[in-house]
Structure formats: structure tokens, C-alpha cells
Amino acid sequence: MTLQTWIRRFWDFAGAVSVRTKILGIVLGFIILLGVGVTVQARYALAATMTAQLEEQSVSVSRDLAARATDPILLNDLLRLQDLLNETLTNDPNVRYAFLVDPRNQVIASTFEGGFPLDLLSLNPAQPNKHHRTVLIQTDEGLVWDTAVPILDGKIGSARIGLSDTSMQAALSTLTAQLFLTILLVSATGILVAVFLTWVLTRPILALVNATKSVAKGDFTPRVPRWANDEIGDLADAFNMMTEELARTDELRREREALRRQLLEKVISTQEDERRRIARELHDSTSQNLTSLIVGLRIMETYCAHCEAQGNATDLRKVASTTLDEVHDLSMRLRPRVLDDLGLAAALERLAHEWQARFKIPVDIAIQLNERLPGDVETAIYRIVQETLTNVARHAQAKSASIFVERRGDIVRAIVEDDGIGFDVNTNHGERHLGLLGMCERAELLNGTLTIESAPEHGTSVLIEIPLHSPLLTIGTTLASPVKAGVVSGATARSKVEGSGERPGVKS
């Protein structure tokens, strides 16, 4: 993998942790890196210094032993030589061994009690033309600086000293332990400082996050306190200004929405009243006049059996009868009197019968209502079902349709389904938009919901649910908060039912 890939993976991992973890990680990592660096440098410097000191000490002790052993060797005082070697071993704890050899490289005296290691003689023989010779020997106990010093230029032998690095290793271990202890103390202090810093830095940020979540839910009341006169304090002030402006904008939006809903309610109410008036006029006046005209034309036919105008009278009577049927049909579509007189169940049955007779599409209807509903609810459900059936006839190419209405507690539910070609709910469908928009507006005015479910070649289902105790039904005007809006098939499905459940009596 490339370096860029590694960097991206590292950032994906590092960017996923919290700010507090980042700060703690940076501080702790810096302290550990600095401590390890100082420890390595200190050990290296101390090891170099102590190595040089051990080498110098080895030469110094060896030359001292050689100088002091000259007379005892010349006098062949072996006891004095042994005491001298033991004294050298006792006075310097770093001395691992000491021994004297003659010019033939034969051991005169040594500090080895369990037998002299003969291999040691050949490792560092003294050179008569040199003041000393030092070699480094690896033993089971560690490194030993072995120094050989000739006595009287090697004429009477040489002195050998072995200096162990045990003290140096102990000093290095002690230094390392102290440095690591210092690192731990500094790390603990750094963590405490980092925790305090993260608390200072992240507490206002967390307050901003919580306030932002409340704003996202529509609550514009939270305010973030200004913790300090720094950039975070400026951010808190800017956030508070934003929430205040959002609160004013939301209040203005609510007022406009309430006014819009009141205006829409008034428009729909006025429209229904006008339809009712026109339907009554058509039924009471125009229909009566046409009926009178038909009766007169029939009388004219009867008394003018041999008149030339009899054919014209018959034609006029047929035209008047057709016109009367059309006026009656127009009156029913404007405002069916059965809706006001007998209620929603009878009006929907009449609507289904006439729709089936007109479009030759079978329709099943099932209504489970034990009593009359409020007038606004009956009108809204009737108009929505009417518009839905109109859309089925115009666009669905359906072979059958079904209507189901029931009351569950304080909820009235109506379902209209067809087995037509359906449509994509995410696509705009032109002229169908206005009809669906009107259906959604009617449901919304009663604090109800309207859900449209459809898919190509799978038919369409329209679900309406309206509460019977909404503010609109009790005071005649709604000031409730608007229902959440959504768009379905280019028309506005102003709200959707959550968990609509089964739909009894209607085939899906």
C-alpha cells in the first residue's frame, strides 16, 4: 500500500476518536517519546563515560599492582605476593580477578581459589615493548576488562587484572529505573493537566453539541454560556445569536402557517357552502323548471296528436329530460344531499354505485360506522374518496377498486385501493398533482394524515386517518402546529401514518 493509503487509514482511525482522547493521546505520547529519548541518551552517555573510567581504572590498578609486586617477585616472597593480590581484590570491588605470571607465562600467584583457568593466559599476554595491553572478555557474569602490564619491561613477568562491568550495569539499571519512574510521574502529571485542559476545552463544545441537537429537534430555547473570552466564547455568542434568529423565524413561520391554514379552511368551507347553495338552486329551481317544461311538452304531444309540431315537441321533451338528468348529476357531484341528510355511509354507497355505473369498473365497499360523524370529517372523507375514485378512472386503468371505512376509538380510517398500473411515488405526475394536493390539504386541516402507497404494476392504495377530537372539530378553527410534509408522486402527502397495521375488509 502507498504512503497516502496509510495516512488515510491512520486519519480515519484518529479522526473517529473524541477530542478528549486526541488531547490525552498527544500529551501522553509526547511525554513517553521524550522520556524514552532522554533515557536512551542518558544510558548511552553514562555507558560511554563509565566504560572509559573502567578502562582507565583497569590500567591504573594493573600498573599499581605491577609496581608493588616487583620487590616480592625479586625476593621470591610468594606469601607477600598472595597478600598483595588479595589486598588488590579487596580494595576495589570492580576487580574480578588478579594474578602474576613469570617471563615464561607461568602463574606465580592468583586470586582464583578453585583452580586457575588456563585459557585465560593466552587471551591477553603482556607485550614487553608496551606499557599495558587491555582486551575485553565476554564471561558468564558479563564483560571483563583484562589488562596486562609488564614488570620491569617483562624481565621478571607481568601483572594481570580483570575488571568487571557489574557496577556499570548496576548504575545503568538504577539510572534507567529512576528515569522511568520520572517518566511515570511526569506522565501522571501530564494526564492530569491534559484532563483539565480537555475539560476546559470540551465542556463548552459538548454544551454546543447538546444545544445543537435540541435545535435540530425544533427547540430554539437552549442558550450556551460564554465560558471565556476566546474563540470558543465567540462561537457560543454566535450560536446564541443564531438560535435567537431561528426562534424569531420559526415564530413567524408558525404565524404564517396558522394564517395559511385558517385561509385554506375558510376557502374550503366557502367552497362547500357555495356548492351546497348551487346544488340546492339546481335541485329546487332549475330541476323544477325543467320538470314543468317536460310536463308541458307531454301535454302538447297528447293534445296535438295530429299537429305537425308533435315531432318537435317529442324532441324537445327528450332534450329537456336529458338536461334534467345532467342537472341532477351535476347537483349530486357539487354537493350530494344524501351526505347532509343520511350521512357518510349512505353518500359513499351512492357514490360507489354511480361511479361503477358510469365507468363500468367493479367496486367493493365496506363501511363500519355506528353513528354519524362530525360534518367536517364526513365532508373531508367524502371529497378525498371522490377525488381518489376520479384518479382511478382517469389514470389507473384498473379492473376493480375497493373502499373501506371504519372508526377505531377516536380515529376514522378510510382506505381506497385499486389494482391498476400504479405509479412511482418519487416521480411527478402532472395533472394528478393538484388533486392529490387537495386531498392532502383536506386531511391536514383536520389534523389528519394521508398516506399514498404505490408502485408500477402493483396498484395504488390511499389511506386517510382523521382524529375526531382535533382543535378544528371543537372550535371550528385550527391553530395547531402544521403536520410534517412529504412529497409523493409529485403531490404533497402532508403526513404519513406510522404503523398503519392491517386494513380489514379491503384486498391489497
Q: What is the mean pLDDT of residues 304-327?
A: 66
pTM comes to 0.44
Residues in CB range of 323: below 8 A, 6 or more apart: 290
The CA-to-CA distance between both ends of the chain, in Å, stands at 55
> In this structure, what are the phi and psi dihedrals at residue 465, rounded to the nearest 5 degrees?
-130, 125
Tell me, what amino acid is at 320? A
Give the helix/strand (H/E) hosting 451: strand 449-454
Confidence at residue 402, expressed as pLDDT on a 0 to 100 scale = 95
- Collapse the DSSP code of 58 into the 3-class scheme (helix H, G, I; strand E, B; otherwise coil) and give the result: helix
CA angle 465, 471, 474 (to 5 degrees): 105
CA angle 480, 483, 487 (to 5 degrees): 155
From start to end of 325-410, where are the E strands?
A: 363-368, 401-408
Tell whether the torsion through CA atoms of 348, 350, 353 and 358 is positive or negative. Answer: negative
Inter-CA distances, 365 with 339, 347, 388, 448, Å: 16, 12, 14, 22
**Cβ atoms 460, 396 nearer than 8 A:** yes
Confidence at residue 132, expressed as pLDDT on a 0 to 100 scale = 79
Inter-CA distances, 165 with 95, 100, 177, Å: 9, 22, 18
- Collapse the DSSP code of 95 into the 3-class scheme (helix H, G, I; strand E, B; otherwise coil) and give the result: strand
pLDDT at 331 > cutoff 90: no
Which is higher by pLDDT, 453 or 292? 453
By DSSP bridging, strand 486-488 and strand 491-493 are: antiparallel
Quick one: DSSP state of residue 115? -
Inter-CA distances, 215 with 222, 253, 481, Å: 8, 16, 17
Confidence at residue 308, expressed as pLDDT on a 0 to 100 scale = 59
Q: What is the mean pLDDT of residues 62-81?
A: 87
**Which pLDDT tens digit goes with each residue over 445-462?**
888 999 999 888 889 999
Q: Which residue has the cell 392491517?
A: 502
Band of pLDDT at residue 330, cut at 50, 70 and 90 = low
Enter the C-alpha cell of residue 118: 588456563
Confidence at residue 173, expressed as pLDDT on a 0 to 100 scale = 87
**Cβ atoms 70, 151 nearer than 8 A:** yes
Tell me, what amino acid is at 369? L
> In this structure, what are the phi and psi dihedrals at residue 251, rounded to the nearest 5 degrees?
-65, -45
Confidence at residue 431, expressed as pLDDT on a 0 to 100 scale = 53
**Which pLDDT tens digit goes with each residue over 33-54?**
888 888 888 888 888 888 888 8
Enter the C-alpha cell of residue 224: 450556551
**Which pLDDT tens digit goes with each residue over 149-173?**
888 888 888 888 888 888 888 888 8
Residues in CB range of 235: below 8 A, 6 or more apart: 204, 208
Q: What is the mean pLDDT of residues 247-263?
A: 79
In DSSP terms, 273 is beta-bridged to none
From start to end of 152-302, where are the E strands?
A: 157-164
Quick one: DSSP state of residue 495? B
By DSSP bridging, strand 401-408 and strand 363-368 are: parallel
